A and B are shown apart, each in its own frame.
Chain A
C-alpha cells in the first residue's frame, strides 16, 4: 500500500526560485492537506482541499499556492521561495471532511531555501 506519496523528498532552493511539491494518494480519499513542520512549532496547516474542486487556506497560507489536480493529486507551489519557508512539508489525506476522520500522512519533503 503506497498510501500518500510525496515528491521530491529533499530539495534545496535558492531564494526567489519556484518549485512545486507533488502529492498523490491512492486511498480514494476526498480530502487532502498540506502541513509544514518546524522545530518546536508542531504541524501547521497551509492549505487544504475538502473535496475535488475546492481549496481553502489554513493557518499559514502566505507564500504558497495549491492545486487540486484531481481526486488523487494535490500540489503545493512556492512561487518565490524565501528562507522562512525552509521546513518539512507533509501532505495528508482523509476519507471525507468531517470530525474524527483519521488523517493519513506522507513521509514528508525536506525543503531548504538558501
Chain B
C-alpha cells in the first residue's frame, strides 16, 4: 500500500530564510507525488505535482520540489520565505494501486518576522 511520511510536525523559519520540508513515500514504482498547502481556516490548495520527466518541479507561490528516487523523497523548497507562507503543508502520493492520493500528516510552518 502506498504511504507517505512527513517527519517534521512543525518547522520554524525566519522571514527571508530558505525552507525545506521533507516528504518520504513508500511505493515500489514511480509514484505520483503532490504538495498541498492549507492556510488557516481554508481548504487545501495544490502547490505542485510530479508524474515523470524532470525531477525538479516548479509550483505556485515560488515553491519547488525535487523527486529523488534513490531516497524515496519529494522535498519541498523555497529560497526565501514570506510571512504569508505560514500554513500547513501536506505531501501526498498516488500510485497504480489507488489513484486517490494518500496524504501525510502535515508539517506546520511557522514564520518569524
Contacts and interface: CB of A to CB of B under 8 A. Distances in A.
Interface of A: 4, 33, 40-45, 48, 58, 90, 92, 97-108
Q: Chain A CB within 10 Å — which of B32, B44, B51 has the most?
A: B44
B71 interface: no
Interface of B: 9, 32, 36, 41-46, 49, 51, 90, 94-96, 99-101, 103-106
B101 A97 contact: no
Contacts of A4: 43
Given A42-B106, A43-B90, A103 B101 contact: yes
A105 to B, nearest CB: 3
A103 B98 CA distance: 14
Determine the main DSSP class of B at the interface with A: strand
Q: Closest 7 interchain pairs by CB?
A: A105-B43, A42-B105, A43-B103, A105-B44, A42-B103, A99-B99, A100-B32
Given A42-B104, A97-B99, A107-B42, 8 more contacts: A40-B9, A41-B105, A43-B44, A92-B44, A103-B101, A104-B46, A107-B41, A108-B42
Given A90-B43, A90-B44, A107-B41, A48 B103 contact: no
A101 B92 CA distance: 12
Given A42-B90, A108-B42, A108-B43, A100 B49 contact: yes
Contact of A99 (B45, B90, B96): B96
B71 to A, nearest CB: 21
Nearest to A97: B99
A99 B32 contact: yes
Nearest to B94: A99
